[in-house]
């Protein structure tokens, strides 16, 4: 009994003595063409994680073009002018955790490579940014239109609670708000995307001045800066990208709606409310855990929404699908169903252009 009391006292003291937040040292700068660079050295493992963010998502879509940002994410895994089979290249250098995701306000591409293969990773990501336009054709667009359309069917229309998720977007963001139909979009509008639409989208949003690249891992900062200058520096700056001016509609009264779902085995309640804009200073105060606030969100395209789910049953609720459909993390808290994202396979390039 005394041992239990001592153990409890030790546990409580450990909780009260909250560890300080880890200090992450980083270097941040910008190239002349506008590309934002973030470097954080970590020598614990002989590998480097690369993450490239393009500041474009569903918020940048125009009416009649729902799902377009996500469709373009798929197209960006195609061959480039100098890398005919990027997947094979990534695979040959031991690349892992290779994928991309699209959210309401951004699209990113990421991978982890052995430290010795950082030059190849920089070459491939610069190919994606600056040399994919010449290779886009009608056949590649047709294939990815069908892939994304099938993803909607598989992850939403044929998945328990999937249509309820999309309906939540529609209730919170009625037309003409670009968040309508969530990130996945409407199949008819996805299928209507033309090659000219795709090319214009790339030229507008995929310039270095609308992107950020982050490297974390085992690298020499001077060598990393040299590689980034070599491969990304020559890519010309794109046009300025104005921030979306669409105001977020706020809930002014309680809305109740019932969504019939033949695939759901248990009835489920969802409680949804407007939350703070993502990354808002008040989103995660230093003295508490990050939570969604029921306060009204600022009138900005990056405002988000929060929800809780509850099942009418005593048994364990169904497990959420793995992965991330709209750029959400794949690991979800219990009771929150996440539509998974599609997976792209990994791959491989020549060591020089």
Phi, psi (5° rounding) for residue 110? -150, 160
Q: Is 292 exposed, middle or buried (0-12, 13-18, 19+ CB in 10 A)?
A: middle
Least confident of 90-99, 119-128, 231-240, 260-269: 260-269
pLDDT > 50? residue 300: no
Phi, psi (5° rounding) for residue 325? -85, -40
pLDDT > 80? residue 125: yes
How much is the pTM? Answer: 0.76
pLDDT given at position 306: 62
Report the chain's terminal Cα–Cα distance, integer Å.
70
pLDDT given at position 307: 56
pLDDT given at position 138: 96
Q: Three-state SS for 69?
A: helix
User: How is the chain split into domains, by residue range?
Assistant: 22-166+178-246
Q: Quick one: what percent of the chain has pLDDT higher than 90? A: 60
pLDDT band at residue 309 using 50, 70 and 90 as cut-offs: low
Q: Is 73 among the catalytic positions?
A: yes
pLDDT > 70? residue 202: yes
Average pLDDT, rounded, for the chain: 81
- Beta carbons of 56 and 301 less than 8 angstroms apart: no
- Top mean pLDDT of 54-68, 201-215, 271-285 is at 201-215
* CA separation for the pair 238, 243 (Å, rounded): 15
Q: Three-state SS for 230?
A: helix
* CA separation for the pair 31, 225 (Å, rounded): 10
* CA separation for the pair 105, 245 (Å, rounded): 13
Q: Three-state SS for 290?
A: coil
309 against 81, higher pLDDT: 81
pLDDT given at position 2: 53
Rounded alpha-carbon distances, angstroms, from residue 185 to 115, 157, 331: 38, 12, 23
Phi, psi (5° rounding) for residue 321? -60, 150
230 against 313, higher pLDDT: 230
pLDDT > 80? residue 290: no
List helix spans (H) across 107-181: 118-130, 138-152, 162-172
The residue from 23, 27, 73, 283 that is catalytic is 73
Take residue 278 and report the two structure tokens written for it. 């993502």
pLDDT given at position 13: 56
- Beta carbons of 166 and 214 less than 8 angstroms apart: no
Q: Mean per-residue pLDDT for 39-45?
A: 96
Q: Mean per-residue pLDDT for 139-161?
A: 95
pLDDT > 90? residue 192: yes
pLDDT band at residue 308 using 50, 70 and 90 as cut-offs: low
* CA separation for the pair 116, 161 (Å, rounded): 44
pLDDT in tens, 153-176: 999 999 999 999 999 999 988 888
pLDDT > 50? residue 292: no
Least confident of 90-99, 140-149, 231-240, 292-301: 292-301
Rounded to 5°, the CA angle 310-103-137 comes to 135
Q: Domain 22-166+178-246 has what CATH class?
A: alpha beta
8 against 164, higher pLDDT: 164
pLDDT > 80? residue 281: no
Least confident of 110-119, 171-180, 300-309: 300-309
Handedness of CA 43, 45, 48, 53 (dihedral sign): negative
């Amino acid at each position: 009994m005394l041992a239990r009391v001592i153990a409890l006292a030790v546990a409580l003291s450990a909780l009260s003595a909250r560890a300080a937040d880890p200090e992450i040292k980083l270097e941040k700068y910008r190239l002349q063409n506008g590309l934002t660079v973030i470097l954080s050295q970590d020598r614990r493992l002989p590998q480097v994680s690369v993450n490239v963010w393009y500041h474009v998502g569903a918020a940048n879509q125009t009416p009649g073009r729902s799902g377009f940002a996500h469709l373009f994410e798929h197209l960006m895994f195609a061959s480039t002018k100098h890398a005919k089979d990027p997947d094979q290249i990534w695979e040959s250098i031991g690349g892992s955790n290779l994928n991309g995701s699209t959210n309401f306000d951004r699209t990113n591409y990421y991978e982890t490579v052995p430290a010795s293969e950082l030059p190849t990773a920089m070459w491939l990501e610069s190919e994606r940014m600056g040399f994919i336009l010449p290779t886009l054709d009608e056949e590649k667009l047709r294939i990815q239109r069908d892939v994304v359309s099938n993803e909607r069917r598989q992850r939403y229309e044929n998945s328990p609670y999937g249509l309820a998720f999309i309906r939540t977007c529609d209730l919170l963001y009625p037309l003409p708000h670009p968040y309508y139909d969530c990130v996945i979009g409407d199949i008819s509008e996805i299928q209507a995307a033309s090659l000219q639409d795709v090319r214009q989208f790339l030229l507008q949003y995929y310039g270095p001045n609308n992107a950020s690249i982050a490297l974390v891992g085992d690298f020499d900062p001077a060598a990393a800066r040299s590689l980034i200058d070599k491969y990304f520096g020559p890519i010309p700056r794109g046009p300025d990208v104005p921030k979306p001016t669409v105001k977020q509609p706020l809930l002014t009264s309680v809305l109740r709606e019932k969504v019939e779902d033949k695939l759901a085995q248990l009835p489920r309640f969802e409680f949804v409310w407007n939350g703070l804009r993502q990354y808002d200073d008040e989103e995660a105060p230093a003295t508490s855990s990050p939570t969604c606030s029921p306060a009204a969100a600022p009138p900005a395209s990056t405002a988000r929404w929060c929800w809780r789910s509850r099942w009418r049953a005593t048994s364990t609720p169904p497990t959420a699908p793995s992965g991330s459909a709209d750029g959400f993390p794949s690991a979800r808290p219990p009771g929150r169903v996440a539509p998974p994202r599609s997976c792209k396979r990994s791959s491989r390039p020549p060591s020089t252009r």
